[in-house]
Amino acid sequence: MTKNKIIVALDVATKKEALDLVDQLGEQISFFKVGLQLYTAEGPEIVRAIRAAGANVFLDLKLHDIPNTVANAVRSAAELAVQMLTFHLCGGEEMIRAAVSAKPRELSLLGVTVLTSVDEQTLRKIGIPDKIDDHVLRLAKLGAETGVDGLVASPHELKMLRAQFGTKIKLVVPGVRPTWSEAGDQKRVMTPREAFDAGADYLVIGRPIIAQPRPREALAQILAEIGA
């Protein structure tokens, strides 16, 4: 069902705000993202609270460190019973293998390719001469070859990645904006319907829902757009 493929990003500052959203939206969806802002503010307890409320958690920490540190972080995330965890594929093969070896079967490890806020000018400034598609594909192949369960990429790379990997790997997509929402700091975006049509398995949507005065209505509108 489409509603089980939407992950609402709890990009808020406090446990109370996060759990209020889980309470409001829990009948419509079952998956919530905990990112750096909320995890830094509230720590592992916020994950435990969301899980206790019966929801699934996508822990979006984008780990990037030496292999041993990343492996230990994966083990800690597994103890929190999260369903998904992210790390940066640019950490390299040794780091990826360490992360994969540390995860239990029930945890999906997702490799981040290129952030949706990045464009080719950004890549040039950090010394990467490739086009974004080429850089995304190189990192995606490295992740697939070393055993990641899924990839995080912008919706603009979906068709390329689906053509390369078929259904062997999950594609989790941020940078999704409904027709009535502004792109904000995202530079490579699509509407939810376009992203699903291009091959996304899961959509991560934050501000178009949580920044609205009535989050339930915003989410319902997005679900209606997808199903139209």
CB of 195 closer than 8 Å to CB of 176: yes
How big is the chain, counted in residues?
228
Domain count, the chain: 1
C-alpha to C-alpha distance for 226 and 222, rounded to whole angstroms: 6
CATH of the domain at 186: 3.20.20.70
CB of 102 closer than 8 Å to CB of 75: yes
- Over the chain (228 residues), what is each successive 10-residue block's mean pLDDT? 86 97 95 97 98 97 98 98 97 98 97 89 91 94 97 93 95 85 62 91 94 94 84
Q: Which among 48, 29, 30 is positioned nearest to 39, based on CA atoms? A: 48
**Boundaries of domain holding 148:** 2-227
User: How is residue 36 written in tokens?
Assistant: 């750096």
Residues acting as catalytic residues:
62
DSSP-based three-state secondary structure for 130: coil
Predicted TM-score of the model (pTM):
0.92
| Contacts (Cβ under 8 Å, ≥6 apart) of 169 | 144, 148, 149, 150, 151, 161
